[in-house]
Structure 1
Amino acid sequence: MTSANATTDQAEVAYDMTPTWGEVGLLMYRLAISKEVKALEAGKSEFQKAFAGMEVLNQLLRTLTPEQRSLYERVFAEELAKQDRR
């Protein structure tokens, strides 16, 4: 087997390292309590997205099916729990 074949025969594995919103919330909280002002300023767009997204969700909640509401409640609880980590 040539090195070219070896590369094409191997399966590529990708890992998603993107933090969830709960993890971003925990990071922002930790930056706030440690008074990391410059880092918080750099994260302004993340705050904006999080709060804007919650307003969208608040307006959509009444339109969710029972299955969607169940998913919302499960994910919301999981993301809140991530922010309680020390």
Structure 2
Amino acid sequence: MHQIISLGLILATAFLFNARAAADMASVGFWGGAVGQLFFAPVVFFFLVHTVVYFVVRLVRGRDRVRSYTRSRLNYVAAVLTILGTIGAAAGPPA
């Protein structure tokens, strides 16, 4: 459940901050960039960050002290980092 909540927050944030840029891309026929900016980039970044954070914490704290990959609360840490990255990418200079 933690992972579903995290992904929902990430996708809502990505849509909120990148909808205008994605609409501009789609209007000139660059659908891949629009879909990538709204969906694939935040999701891939989330899973990369979550995987690194999960396995580092699991290495430090031990296998028995961390819940499973999808049920750990480390999903929220990865979600916050991904949301900050999404906001930062949206605030950056246009590509």
Larger Rg: 1
Please, what TM-score do these two structures have when normalized by structure 2?
0.25
Q: Per residue, is there more helix in 1 or in 2?
A: 2
Indicate the structure whose relative CO is greater, using CA pairs within 8 Å and at least 6 residues apart: 1
